[in-house]
């Protein structure tokens, strides 16, 4: 009896490229996804610091939590890059950071 064919494994396309020595290097899509996730979380954490300047993580968490209507623990998770923020929080923080930067420029302090 023949084993059933697995059409999925035959149809998967793996992107590859050759390095300077002619060796084909396969792209690791899972690693690229993790790199993107990590970079996105770091970017949002830095945006939080820009939007809510504070002397400590705890102070920032309290300040941001009140404005964003989330718990201070959630803000700390974002700052520590442990969770992704939904788009509604990303856009809110981006707007606050942008407005705060604009006001610093207008007031001559930035």
pLDDT per residue over 35-75, tens digit each?
889 999 999 999 999 999 999 999 999 999 999 999 999 99
What is the predicted pLDDT for the residue at 59? 98
Half-sphere exposure of 106 (CA within 13 A, CB side): 6
Q: How many contiguous H segments (helices) and E segments (strands) does the chain have?
A: 5, 2
What is the predicted pLDDT for the residue at 60? 98
Q: Is the pTM of this model over 0.85?
A: no
What is the predicted pLDDT for the residue at 3? 53
Across the range 70-89, mean pLDDT stands at 97
**Rounded-to-integer distance, Cα 86 and Cα 106, Å:** 31
How do the domains of the chain map onto residue ranges? 42-106
Rounded to 5 degrees, what angle do the CA atoms 77, 68, 84 make?
35
Cβ-proximal residues to 42 (8 Å cutoff; 6+ apart), any chain: 81
């Amino acid at each position: 009896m023949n084993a059933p064919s697995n059409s999925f494994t035959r149809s998967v396309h793996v992107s590859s490229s050759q390095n300077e020595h002619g060796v084909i290097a396969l792209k690791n899509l899972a690693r690229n996804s993790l790199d993107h996730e990590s970079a996105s979380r770091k970017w949002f954490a830095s945006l939080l610091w820009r939007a809510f300047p504070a002397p400590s993580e705890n102070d920032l968490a309290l300040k941001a939590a009140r404005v964003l209507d989330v718990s201070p623990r959630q803000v700390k998770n974002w700052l520590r890059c442990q969770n992704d923020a939904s788009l509604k929080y990303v856009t809110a923080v981006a707007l606050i950071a942008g407005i705060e930067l604009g006001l610093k420029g207008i007031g001559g302090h930035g």
